[in-house]
Structure 1
Amino acid sequence: MQTFDTQHKFLSEDFLLQNNYAQILFHEYAKDLPIIDYHNHLPPSEINSNKIFDNISKIWLAGDHYKWRAMRTLGIPEKFITGEASDQDKFRKWSETVPFTLRNPLYHWTHLELKRYFGIEELLTADNADRIFNQTSEMLQDPEFSTCSLLEKMNVEVVCTTDEPTDLLTNHTEFSKKGRGFGMYAAFRPDKSFAVENPTTYQAYLTKLGELAIGKEISNFEELIQALQDRINYFHDRGCRISDHGLEQLYFFDEDTFNIDSLFADLRSGKSLSKEMIQFFKFKVLKELSKMYHSKGWAQQFHLGALRNTNERMLQTLGPDTGFDSIGDFDQAVALAKYLNALDSTDQLCRTVLYNLNPRDNEVFATMIGNFNDGSIKGKIQFGSGWWYLDQKDGMERQMNTLSNMGLITCFIGMLTDSRSFLSFPRHEYFRRILCNLFAKDVENGELPWDEAWLGKIIQDICYYNAKNYFDFSPNNIKF
């Protein structure tokens, strides 16, 4: 039997870089660029407090539904995933799972993160679980492994958290005064302002929003929009320049389809709306929000296509965002085009990033952005990077190939983590390696010329400079 290094090329210096051109592009042009992570779900309080985690399970397994889904699939009981088992037992079960994640991006991410943060190059298994748990947990007590230090270690320049309109942004304000080596900015996520499926829950939210924004109960639709404008102003003064929305799809209706004031009155009285009424309400709120973003010079993001909370039993047991969402098969093109057109027709369409979760929509989104790029700025409308289930080698390559074929990948603003973990930032390295290899294969095949300086510039633009120029992140934007 032939013997060889069990690691072979896995996670070597040239991991995923399949020829010399790829190695040059990555090592000379991409590798050392700063990171602008313009969308993630990191808790601002843990950044502001410069938190130190008790052990690797706390920082690595808690909240990571990618790992949870894999463990459940392998037949591991819930007590070792989100339940009452000890942190070390949970890590043992994850370590048992890792060897079975071969060909899933989790296998790459797991070992890349262990190597980049902790210098651990051995493969994680059940046999070394306790030793690695103890080693990493001890390392995490060092100030070099605090949340801010971890971000600085990965050369993060900007991190954008995801924040609800009623958030006071106290952590962002305090952090801006500390002079760390990176900026933390809020991203306005107003999904609850149009989440009218449950009138009781929505009324409670309106009460909270109204008291904070306009000092009274929100009694009509006009006051709802007034309250949202107040919160946008508040966020803007604290450096926010970007919004985000998670939707099955965008909606479009004729303005007189329903009377919005009547719908609002029904909601306030506790009445449930029909599916079409709910969609109309969302459309009306979103359209007003988009106009406000435009007036502030913000960028808006739309994450479209997730089918959420499919398992009612587990939703009741564990709540949302615990690993029971999937790709949906919603129609996107017609309403999306009409929504963007409605804003563009009055010149109120701001910079927009569109993310699809269903890969069948790649071509739809890649061509849609070209309909509304008007020459005012470079890449005004963006086809966002592979998101969620598409945030892996094949998904990222397909997104970039589609964008290349039907748009200009040279204008692409690149990668983001969309993560809840402070150990997820090597995903930017993962993306950069895949990107460099994509271009390099074309060079090797004779489909692109080997103009190192020009290709190197394009790689650097996609990895960093396009996003830096696209978004208006600056400490000078913070007024308080």
Structure 2
Amino acid sequence: MTNEKWHLPADRYFDPNPTQRRVARELYESVADLPFICPHGHVDPSLFTDANATFGTPADLLIIPDHYVFRMLYSQGIPLESLGISPLGDGPAEGDHCQIWQLFAEHFYLFRGTPTGLWMAYMFDQVLGVKEKLNGETAQTIYDQLKTRLASPEFRPRALFERFNIEVLCTTDFATDSLEHHQAIRDSGWAGDIRPTFRPDDVIHLERPGWRARIDKLSDLTGIEVGSYSALIQALEKRRVFFKSLGAVATDSDGTTLTTGELTPLEADVIFQRALNGQVTRQDAARFFGHMLMESARMSIEDGLVMQVHFGSFRNQPAIGSRDWWHGA
């Protein structure tokens, strides 16, 4: 039996109308060879600290860290544990990456017609050189091919950064991230331009799990005891300066709604104190976040960091604390 091959016409994303397709092709060709400037992304900067770093196994690269992949599979009844993911970070999970890949391949048809499926088809065919379509029968052959490729120097993170003609790659880093990997990249002497992006969400979303511990960490990182609203503002401003010293040019925030509303310093501190005492309400958290968006905008006007926001992403997921909740959702 001959396995089906990928067929990816170069203009498959363009309008079928011949005139529009011609214009689209001309526009694309005018920019196709320009370098990539990536102002927002979620690449782990630790991948670039060592010239010999690899992406690990195919499951390490394409399944376990990719929430677009594992959420789709989970939505169709596939347990996260069987994909190598412990929902709460401390339970048992499948450790056999060949088995994880087999399960993924058997359900790869679920990605037909989705952006993830379109991207993966391109990646398999054009980037990784896998010409056969992925399914249960081809799973292990493709796994072995990918494992060999990912272990080769040509597919190391730094090599692909250069191959893809990336001029700048910005990661996304919380206010309490140490940025040690960004510092290590600079110290290594490698010429790749990897920059942090300041994301304050871990300390301004008052209801998020682990918020109190992150406030303590913010205190440790800045040397400012964050026991009040005014101290929080001082600490965030100090972290923004540090991020800029390592090349940051932007900030990033998310939320379910783009609602703003200014609080007085006293009102903001009253809410902050309730949060410190574990008594914050949902309304408190929403008001505080709306106020902090305005504060973030004020800081950006003053320090020049471009303020990025993306709102309205609300995934259909289990309730926090249920047995099916997973860390980071």
Q: TM-score band, normalised by the shorter chain?
A: 0.7 to 0.9
Give, in whole Å, the separation in 2 of the partners of 1:252 and 1:77. 38
Moved more, 63-72 or 152-161: 63-72
Of the candidates 113, 117, 123, which is equivalent to residue 103 of structure 1? Answer: 113
Partner in structure 2 of residue 60 of structure 1:
62
Give, in whole Å, the separation in 1 of the partners of 2:55 and 2:74. 25
Contact map agreement 1:157 1:181 (CA 8 A) in 2: no
Deviation per CA, 1:169-195, whole angstroms, max 9, x where unpaired?
A: 222123134454531000000002212
* Residue 306 (structure 1) shift: 2.0
Superposed counterparts of 1:270-285, under 5 Å: 270-285=277-292
Deviation per CA, 1:276-320, whole angstroms, max 9, x where unpaired?
A: 322222233332222111111111111101225730278644523
Of the candidates 114, 121, 136, which is equivalent to residue 146 of structure 2? Answer: 136
Give, in whole Å, the separation in 1 of the partners of 2:321 and 2:279. 25
Contact map agreement 1:55 1:138 (CA 8 A) in 2: no
Partner in structure 1 of residue 244 of structure 2:
236
Structure 1 residue 212 and structure 2 residue 214: aligned? Answer: no
Partner in structure 2 of residue 16 of structure 1:
13
Superposed counterparts of 1:30-69, under 5 Å: 30-50=31-51, 51-69=53-71
Contact map agreement 1:88 1:130 (CA 8 A) in 2: yes
Name structure 1 gaps, 5 residues minimum: 1-5, 323-480
Structure 1 residue 146 and structure 2 residue 153: aligned? Answer: no
| Greater RCO (CA < 8 Å, at least 6 residues apart) | 1
Contact map agreement 2:229 2:265 (CA 8 A) in 1: no
Contact map agreement 1:74 1:97 (CA 8 A) in 2: no
Give, in whole Å, the separation in 2 of the partners of 1:293 and 1:78. 39
Deviation per CA, 1:325-380, whole angstroms, max 9, x where unpaired?
A: xxxxxxxxxxxxxxxxxxxxxxxxxxxxxxxxxxxxxxxxxxxxxxxxxxxxxxxx
Structure 1 residue 296 and structure 2 residue 303: aligned? Answer: yes
State percent identity of aligned pairs: 26
* Residue 52 (structure 1) shift: 0.9
AA aligned to 1:206 is I
Give, in whole Å, the separation in 2 of the partners of 1:26 and 1:80. 44
Contact map agreement 1:43 1:161 (CA 8 A) in 2: yes
Instruction: Tell me: CA distance 1:165–1:69, structure 2 relative to 1, closer, same or farther (3 Å).
Output: closer
Aligned length: 314
* Residue 248 (structure 1) shift: 1.2
Instruction: Tell me: CA distance 1:254–1:231, structure 2 relative to 1, closer, same or farther (3 Å).
Output: closer
Instruction: Tell me: CA distance 1:54–1:204, structure 2 relative to 1, closer, same or farther (3 Å).
Output: closer
Structure 1 residue 225 and structure 2 residue 222: aligned? Answer: no
AA aligned to 1:303 is H
Instruction: Tell me: CA distance 1:142–1:26, structure 2 relative to 1, closer, same or farther (3 Å).
Output: farther
Instruction: Tell me: CA distance 1:319–1:100, structure 2 relative to 1, closer, same or farther (3 Å).
Output: closer
Partner in structure 2 of residue 28 of structure 1:
29
Partner in structure 2 of residue 80 of structure 1:
82
Name structure 2 gaps, 5 residues minimum: 86-92
AA aligned to 1:60 is L
AA aligned to 1:15 is R
Compute the TM-score of the two structures, normalised by the length of structure 2: 0.85
Give, in whole Å, the separation in 2 of the partners of 1:73 and 1:208. 35
AA aligned to 1:230 is K
Contact map agreement 2:47 2:55 (CA 8 A) in 1: no
Contact map agreement 2:318 2:324 (CA 8 A) in 1: no
Give, in whole Å, the separation in 2 of the partners of 1:295 and 1:313. 37
Partner in structure 2 of residue 387 of structure 1:
none
Partner in structure 1 of residue 73 of structure 2:
71
Give, in whole Å, the separation in 1 of the partners of 2:227 and 2:117. 52
Give, in whole Å, the separation in 1 of the partners of 2:233 and 2:154. 45
Of the candidates 201, 205, 221, which is equivalent to residue 191 of structure 1? Answer: 201
Secondary structure in 2 matching 1:136: helix
Give, in whole Å, the separation in 2 of the partners of 1:219 and 1:24. 57
* Residue 42 (structure 1) shift: 1.3
Secondary structure in 1 matching 2:197: strand
Moved more, 15-24 or 164-173: 15-24
Partner in structure 1 of residue 269 of structure 2:
261
AA aligned to 1:209 is L
Secondary structure in 1 matching 2:253: strand
Give, in whole Å, the separation in 2 of the partners of 1:314 and 1:222. 32
Contact map agreement 2:45 2:181 (CA 8 A) in 1: yes
* Residue 23 (structure 1) shift: 6.7
Compute the TM-score of the two structures, normalised by the length of structure 1: 0.60
Give, in whole Å, the separation in 1 of the partners of 2:74 and 2:212. 36
Contact map agreement 1:197 1:272 (CA 8 A) in 2: no
Instruction: Tell me: CA distance 1:32–1:43, structure 2 relative to 1, closer, same or farther (3 Å).
Output: same
* Residue 271 (structure 1) shift: 4.2
Give, in whole Å, the separation in 2 of the partners of 1:165 and 1:285. 14
AA aligned to 2:307 is Q
